[in-house]
Structures are given as C-alpha cells and as structure tokens.
Amino acid sequence: MVRLPGQGLRLPARFGHHEKGIVMPKLTDLKETCLYVDDLGRAKKFYQEVMGLETLVADDRFCAFDVEGKHVLLLFVRGISTKETEVPCGTIPPHY
C-alpha cells in the first residue's frame, strides 16, 4: 500500500503518486515500442533473423513486428516519417 503525502488515503502499490498529490497509475506493461533506425533493411533483418519476430506490415519507411502476439515493435527510418501513413488497421501519425 502507498500512503499519499498529507492525505489519509491508502492505495494499492500498483498506483504511484505525483508530487502534487495527483494519483497516477503505475506503468506495468508496454504494448507498443517505437525505435528509429538509420538502415531499415539491416534492422529488419536483425529482428527477423536474430530475434525471430514476424513482420506484420512494412513499407520503405517503417516496419511493424509482432512480439509474442501481445506487443508490437515499430521501426521507423529516422527523419523520414513526417507524414501520416495509411495501413490496413488505421493511420500512423507523423514521427520526427
């Protein structure tokens, strides 16, 4: 249990707190991770051949990998994804 400063409120340990007393949930999992790479071909090869990840969708600017059916690893070419990208499952916003 966590006791917030100056308050009698007790919360489960999975909740953290902000210095102003605002309760914030504690990060316990991550569903999507984005990495920026200089050489997409080389990075794709590494994550496919060395790490054994399956490609979900890819083009010349990015690649999305499935991680154990629970997470997504996104690779973006550094500095090239400044416009929205339409993919079958939606729109990827610009990245800088």
71 and 96 part of one domain: yes
Q: Which residue has the tokens 């707190």?
A: 17
21 and 58 part of one domain: no
Taking residues 80-89, what's their average pLDDT? 79
pLDDT at 19 over 70: no
Predicted TM-score of the model (pTM): 0.61
- Measured CA to CA, the distance from residue 96 to residue 60 in angstroms comes to 16
22 and 36 part of one domain: no
Q: What is the residue range of 21's domain?
A: 1-28
45 and 70 part of one domain: yes
54 and 10 part of one domain: no
More confident residue, 75 or 20: 75
> Over the stretch 21-52, which tens digit does the pLDDT of each residue have?
666 666 566 688 899 999 999 999 999 998 99
Q: Which strand (E) or helix (H) includes residue 40?
A: helix 40-45
